[in-house]
Structure 1
Amino acid sequence: MKPPSDLKILNVIYKLYYEEFKNFAQESDVQNGRVSKIHVPIDCKMIARELGVDSDIVFGRLYYHLEQRYGYKRDDDSKVVFFSLGVGPDRHCVNFPLLASVLAGLQEESSKFKWATVLSFIAVLISIVVPLATALLGKS
């Protein structure tokens, strides 16, 4: 079985957790169920079920690959995490605004690739059809 792409994993996380991210309220009388608005706890098993893979594949991609690729240090040495094992009592948290930015970039890359492929196919088709049409019309 082919492992899911970063784009697919992040799409599923975004789809499953956007409402939870959006509905976070900072009023003291509101129970949010988490410590921070930007750090959203996720369930790797549920995401894996959506993708049809083992949950350790999802966890591994987030922790070993995506965190290394998209987490970074600021000039003041503070760290911006993409995926964290825990934020306060919350376990397996994604930095949701950073995830949304990365997802948008991956979607844009994918779109550019698809358009380039379609345009290349059209160019090849034209390069085949035009000489054939010229040859057929020339025989008449």
Structure 2
Amino acid sequence: MANSVPTERQVLRCIFDMYEGDFPVEGPSVGKTMIAIDIDAVAKSLGCDKNILFGYLYYHLDNKYRYKTGENTSVHLFVPRAGELRHAINLPYLTAVLAAQEQEHSKFTWSLGVSLVALALSVGAIIAQLVTAR
């Protein structure tokens, strides 16, 4: 049994990579934003348990990103059933959330890189002072 716990960004990226070709939906579902995903296949790709993945999508991510659009209407990231679709993801919304995640990750990576360069320069300056002080 798989035992890794993927990050939010890894889950969103995996689903996007696996299903971006399925959008836009053709046929009678034109204009719909929800597409069915194969929880088993996504879990296998991520190396995690399918039940953990379902719970993560349904109880955590959908709850985190769901927002109300009216008194009795909401936009969902993930729903167990949408009409005839089972395990449906709102791919355009997932794409927007993933883009924000990627931007944050990029900022963090750049900040970390700049900090490491600054640390290396500081250490180099300290070593240079110690060597020249002798």
Both proteins in one fold, TM over 0.5: yes
Structure 1 position 46, deviation (Å):
0.3
Q: 1:35, 1:81 → 2: CA distance? A: 18
Matched, 1:127 2:122: yes
TM-score by length of 2: 0.89
CA contact (8 A) 1:40 1:95 kept: yes
Structure 1 position 130, deviation (Å):
1.1
Residue-by-residue CA offset, 1:68-108 (whole Å, 9 max, x unaligned):
00011024542111111111111110111110011111111
**Cross-structure match for 1:16:** 18
Task: Supply the AA of the counterpart residue of 1:107.
Answer: E
1:6 to 8, 15, 27: 8
Mark the runs of 5 or more structure 2 residues left unpaired by the alignment.
Answer: none
**Cross-structure match for 2:131:** 136
Structure 1 position 120, deviation (Å):
1.1
Residues 65 and 76 of structure 1: CA distance in aligned 2, closer, same or farther (over 3 Å): same
Structure 1 position 37, deviation (Å):
3.0
Report sequence identity in percent: 33
Residues 52 and 69 of structure 1: CA distance in aligned 2, closer, same or farther (over 3 Å): same
1:78 to 73, 77, 91: 73
Structure 2 residue matching 1:64: 3-state secondary structure: helix
Question: What is the RMSD of the two structures over their aligned residues, measured on CA atoms?
Answer: 1.8
**Cross-structure match for 1:107:** 102
CA contact (8 A) 2:36 2:85 kept: yes
